[in-house]
Structure 1
Amino acid sequence: MPDPDSARLHGLLEERTADLQRVKAEYDNYRKRVHRDRLALGDAAVANVLRTLLPALDAVDRACAHEAMTPGLRDIADTLRTQLGSLGVEAFGEEGDAFDPACHDALTHHASPDADRPICTKILRTGYRHGARLLRPATVEVTGPQPPAANPLGPDPGHRPFGATAHAACPSLTCAGPDHRRQ
């Protein structure tokens, strides 16, 4: 016949074991979260430092493009590119790349009847990545298809151009008359 104290003690032992396992799992999750947060914080700090170096890289690139290439200038440019490359910085943005608004800033759009999709036709400023993190988008000119044709039924009666206000003295929503005030 089993001893009642033994059954009670066995039940307490199982309860304490389950508590200990739960606390250990919570602690392991906490350690993993802290480790992940430290890595993310370190990556963000590295990205911020790299982002502050991009204007210096731009200045060197401009100097290389507009000045005679001296041995000193070549050494500075090569060293800067090599060191940033060893840290994982990658330049992107080539003429002919498909335009991607997630990594390109378009300053101008040229319509072309031959284009079937938007293409980067001129790189105004190189973009940079550090791993999967975008440090700076590439600034580009884009050539793409014609914008959609205007609505043949006319403008939407409730639509106003950005910044346009209607007032009683002006029948047009885009009035530029002397008593028209922009708000």
Structure 2
Amino acid sequence: MSQQDEQAPRVVIRDRRRIDPTSGAVREPAGDQPAGPAAAQGEQMSEQNEGAAPVAEHTDVPAGDLGGEQVGDQGGETARQLAERTEDLQRVTAEYANYRRRVDRDRVLVVDQAAERFAGQLFPIVDDIERARDHGDLTGAFKVVADRVLGLLDGLGVESFGKPGDPFDPALHEAVLHDTSPEVTEPTATTVLRPGFRRGDRVLRTAMVGVTEPESPAPVAASPVAEQPAAAGQSDVAGQPDADPADR
């Protein structure tokens, strides 16, 4: 060794910790430790521990310091996704409500069509029943059957219309006979050849009737405006002086 190295001061680091970091045993005070290989080994271990890099302790850092902008972006993305899901849910709900309304409407339409089709098949039977009633043949067991058939129509909500004396309505009546009479003031269904049937506002079959119209319709009153020019012309001719005989 050079002389300069021998004169340089020697740095000695002593471990004065009371607890041995390796074994966890309690150490005796430095003054009581015996000099020897054990002491030298302890000093060497202390030097190694002190020369090691310190272990970083876990510390809590505020969330704002980690990146407030990133947290804000995530919140905006979440709000956007929530709005989209809400719109999708509202659209699906509206479509389902429309679907249910269409299904209910179609179901009612199918029921109405079936009821009207079945009632139409009973109309000829009802005509026979009405003819038997007019001739006085609706008695006994036949009357019981007739009442049941008419009860079926009542259960379907079908009612008959068309009676003598009803005003003629082309939407309800089918005119097959025509005559005139001074006893009526408007076209009237005086004879009912076949009754009509309707279900609610829907006409299932028109009534076949004979129509009677007034015999002499009311005369149309002459317009005073049309007579005025003729009267004016007459006054002009009357007021014109006679021609002079010399001019003749």
After TM superposition, list the pairs within 5 Å mapping 1:15-164 onto structure 2. 15-112=84-181, 115-145=184-214
Aligned residues of 2:129 and 2:138 also touching (Cα < 8 A) = no
Whichever residue aligns with residue 63 of structure 1, its letter is A
Counterpart-to-counterpart distance in 2, 1:113 and 1:7: 88
Residue 3 of structure 1 aligns to a residue whose secondary structure is helix
Aligned residues of 1:124 and 1:141 also touching (Cα < 8 A) = yes
**Relative to total residues, which structure has the larger helix share, 1 or 2?**
2
CA drift at 1:67: 5.0
CA drift at 1:133: 2.2
Aligned residues of 1:61 and 1:77 also touching (Cα < 8 A) = no
CA drift at 1:4: 1.8
Aligned residues of 2:115 and 2:156 also touching (Cα < 8 A) = no
Question: 1:47-105 deviations in whole A, cap 9, x for unaligned?
Answer: 00110111011112222323544312222222222232132121111111111111111
Whichever residue aligns with residue 102 of structure 2, its letter is R
Question: 1:159-178 deviations in whole A, cap 9, x for unaligned?
Answer: xxxxxxxxxxxxxxxxxxxx
Partner residue in 2 for 1:13: 82
Aligned residues of 1:103 and 1:138 also touching (Cα < 8 A) = yes
Q: Which has the larger radius of gyration?
A: 2
Residue 120 of structure 1 aligns to a residue whose secondary structure is strand
Residue 150 of structure 2 aligns to a residue whose secondary structure is helix
Please, what TM-score do these two structures have when normalized by structure 1? 0.72
Partner residue in 2 for 1:4: 73
Partner residue in 2 for 1:180: none
Cα-Cα RMSD? 2.3
Matched-pair identity in %: 44
Residue 175 of structure 2 aligns to a residue whose secondary structure is strand
CA drift at 1:114: 5.3
Structure 2, gaps ≥5 residues long: 1-67, 220-248
